[in-house]
Chains A and B, each alone.
Chain A
């Protein structure tokens, strides 16, 4: 039986961590993820978990602690945001290449500078090439559910990769909303125990972790890592299917909302999806054929599936909550556009960078995007491909 409650996104993730009772939590605080180790520290102090709660002096050390613990054969978790994730960078690659299924709760926040504590996706998007699986949540419920699924995905034998479970800073992490929680025993049964085949401290077959890799072997290991990331796609779907059978809530690589006959679509990640759903409902009510694709999984990127989902629309806007500084669009756009290249009838794709540093995105903002998409779908007009939404300094504002 689900338990009706109301929690913030941070509370929901800390609650999931308590239920899972991981072996090691390496903690270093940074806004807006600080509450996760804070709540967990209370659980540890109250004896509700028997986790080794390790307070370290930096995020480089928290990730190093997780690496050491996972290499030794136990479950290790941490939480961070923004500059904290950036400070882990070197070790993010080590964790992924050593194939250590660490779970990191990433509470998305803008990167400095200028210094800003609010939400965008520049922290985790910057880490998209580190070899970590990345799953994103729309709200507190998804942050909780994704966390319950994370270890099963990461620890799958032909995956064995670390996983980042992302939620939007403040918008999700600090907003209290209704949530369906699951019973402790049901969660423990679903997540199960971590029993790695080989690990550093296995006395009958000790394993070396992180030795120097020479040129004749390095590339083979990278190919195995790339294959593991491909395998993760199936593991994510398998775990989601079991999650649905167990708890009744359905998840996939992405969510399609009113896409069946949509002519114009928006592709985006995170909490803005909820706002966009309201907009789709309002526009559908007056007969506009609009739809939404909310990406849940960004790494591995669901290229074939996404291209298929976009194959019938005339126009689509990919909305990026990070800049990327490629000079030609954000990271979600780059991958989406690449995925659509092999389609016979490609939709017209535009990129909208929005919401940087906590800039709000309301239903009306989404509506302007849809109106623009419907217009270029009707008229075939050429306009800019790469747009920053709501610029106060822009003279020729598209929106």
Chain B
């Protein structure tokens, strides 16, 4: 079971929607027929404070209910966390970290405590501001990690997210198209450096 299980750890700041993105990924994986876990680590939560959230995605039910110490992928929703949180701690060999940043990986790696693995970057601010006219980094980061990890079929993921947004934004349908563009742009633009 553990061989096929994909584990993702999210690092963000309160208010950026890392928990929401984590739950949306669980939803999308569930829709694709997987067993899922999506859960946040709760501390004294407030706007701007570092938060962590987790996903386990597998073909059989996963009974483990601890935090994730050896993730396959790490998503960093706010690059300013790199100076205070050891985001790549325990990251499995062959895994990758996906960072929301306009900077090249060479400028990010020095903050990663000797991490030698893959670094993917995506400028979620640029995409979000272009597609939504405001800074909501979670949707682009969700799409980026789906693209990088290959955990879900990209086409199916986009279809499921359309349905998910239609449900989530039933009272403000004007934001659905922008969010969908966020997803597709991010999937195109995320790259390993």
Q: Which residues on A are within 8 Å of B, measured CB to CB?
A: 6, 32, 117-118, 138-139, 168, 170-172, 174-178, 271-275, 277-278, 281, 358, 360-363
Contacts and interface: CB of A to CB of B under 8 A. Distances in A.
B37 interface: yes
26 contacts: A6-B30, A139-B63, A139-B65, A171-B65, A172-B65, A174-B40, A174-B42, A175-B39, A175-B65, A176-B26, A176-B37, A177-B37, A178-B30, A271-B65, A275-B63, A275-B64, A277-B63, A278-B2, A278-B63, A358-B42, A360-B66, A361-B66, A362-B66, A362-B69, A363-B64, A363-B66
Contacts of A360: 66-67
A272 B65 CA distance: 6
Contacts of B39: 170-171, 174-176
B contacts with A: majority SS: mixed
B23 interface: yes
Contacts of B30: 6, 178
Contacts of B64: 274-275, 278, 363
Interface of B: 1-2, 23, 26-27, 30, 35-40, 42, 61, 63-67, 69
A175 to B, nearest CB: 4
B177 to A, nearest CB: 26
A370 to B, nearest CB: 15
A177 B67 CA distance: 14
A196 to B, nearest CB: 38
Contact of B66 (A117, A118, A275, A277): A275
B57 to A, nearest CB: 11
Contacts of B67: 360, 362
B42 A175 contact: no
A170 B37 CA distance: 12
Contacts of B2: 278
B27 A6 contact: yes
A281 B2 CA distance: 11
B61 A178 contact: yes
A274 B40 contact: no
A380 to B, nearest CB: 32
A113 B176 CA distance: 45
Nearest to B63: A274
Nearest to A178: B35
B33 to A, nearest CB: 9
A118 B42 CA distance: 7
Contacts of B35: 177-178
B142 to A, nearest CB: 15
A275 B65 contact: yes
A175 B23 CA distance: 9
Nearest to A176: B38
A117 B63 CA distance: 23
B38 A175 contact: yes
Q: Which of A32, A273, A278, A361 has the most CB of B within 10 A?
A: A278
Given A176-B39, A271-B65, A275-B66, 8 more contacts: A6-B27, A174-B40, A176-B27, A177-B36, A177-B61, A178-B30, A358-B42, A360-B67
B188 to A, nearest CB: 28
Contacts of B37: 175-177
B184 to A, nearest CB: 25
A394 to B, nearest CB: 21
B114 to A, nearest CB: 23
